[in-house]
Amino acid sequence: MIKHKQTIVIIGRTSGFGEAVANNSLGDANIIHVAGLSTGLDVNDEKQTCAYFESMGAFDHRMITGGSYALVGKVIDVDIADAKAAFDTKFWGTINAAKPTARSLKPTRAITVTSGMLSRKVVVNTYLKRHQYSP
């Protein structure tokens, strides 16, 4: 059976989960684009993110695995500016990537957004736990 070659765009960390998805998809001879801060794409910049997606044309799947780093500490010690910046990157960065994606996504294809383990696991006396990925 001949499998359709797919174009997959992974936005976010170029290590950890995003890297694992990219490497797993390469075996299928797909076309993989991986972008994030380390490659020069800042999802906080709506115009830059929109231009990035418009430059590549139609694709099959887009995954956003990254976002902000996990803040560590007690609630009483939280730096509000850092917390807001982390939220803005994860939430608005996802929106900034999803808007142009919806215009370029092939029919019947998907946008996948991951939230990470922080949505399911907390540590006593902290508001977020730092997670270090190790394969």
Q: What pLDDT does residue 70 have?
A: 63
pLDDT tens by residue, 91-124? 888 888 888 877 777 777 778 777 665 555 665 5
- Contact, 33 vs 7, CB < 8 A? yes
Cα–Cα separations (whole angstroms), residue 113 to 15, 76, 88, 98 = 16, 30, 15, 9
Q: What pLDDT does residue 131 have?
A: 45
pLDDT exceeds 70 at position 127: no
d(CA 43, CA 92): 8
Q: What is the CATH number of domain 7-70+88-116?
A: 3.40.50.720
What pTM value is reported for the model?
A: 0.70
Domain boundaries, the chain: 7-70+88-116
